[in-house]
Structure 1
Amino acid sequence: MSIVKWSPLKEIEEIRKEMDRLFEEFLSPVRRRRVVSSEGIISPNVDIFERGVEIVIQAELPGVRKEDVELTITDDRLIIKGEIKRAEGLKEEDYILNERNYGPFTRTINLPADIDKSNVKAGLKDGILEIILTRKAEAKPREIKIALD
Structure 2
Amino acid sequence: MKSLIPVHRETLPGRRMVSPFLALQQEIDSLFEGFTRGFSPSPFQSLVPSMDVSETAKEIEVTTELPGLEEKDVQLSVADQTLSIRGEKKSEREEKDKDYHMVERSYGSFSRTVELPPGVNADAIKATMSKGVLKITIPKPAPAQSKKIDVKAA
Q: Same fold (TM over 0.5)?
A: yes
CA-based RMSD: 2.8
Equivalent in 54, 58, 65 of residue 63 of structure 2: 58
Q: Which amino acid aligns with 1:59?
A: T
For the 8 Å contact 2:76–2:84, the answer to whether it is kept is: yes
1:113 offset after TM fit, Å?
Answer: 1.5
Q: Distance in 2 between matches of 1:34 and 1:111?
A: 30
1:116-138 Cα deviation digits (max 9, x unpaired):
22200001111111110001123
- Larger relative strand fraction: 1
Gaps of 5+ in 2: 1-40, 146-154
Would you say 1:84 and 2:89 are equivalent positions? yes
1:110 Cα deviation after fit: 1.4
Hey, which bits of structure 1, 4+ residues long, moved more than 6 A? none
Contact 1:34 1:44 in 2 (8 A): no
Q: How does 1:1-12 map to 2 (within 5 A)?
A: none
CA-to-aligned-CA distance 1:61-114 (integer Å, 9 cap, x gap): 0000110110010121111111012244248x8533222211111111111214
Q: Is the 8 A contact 1:34 1:45 kept in 2?
A: no
Please give the TM-score of this superposition, normalised by the length of structure 1.
0.59
**Cα gap change, 1:135 to 1:86, in 2 (>3 Å):** same
- Could you report, residue by residue, the CA deviation over 1:31-68 in whole angstroms, capped at 9, with x for unpaired residues? xx79837xxx9321100001331100011100001101
Kindly provide the amino acid, as one letter, of the partner of residue 59 in structure 2. E
TM-score with structure 2 length normalisation? 0.58
Q: Does 1:42 align with 2:50?
A: no
Assess if the C-alpha contact under 8 Å between 2:43 and 2:104 holds in 1: no
Matched with 1:105 is 110
Letter in 1 for 2:84: I
Local SS of the residue matching 1:118: helix
Question: Identity of aligned pairs, percent?
Answer: 36
For the residue of structure 2 that corresponds to 1:67, the secondary structure is: helix
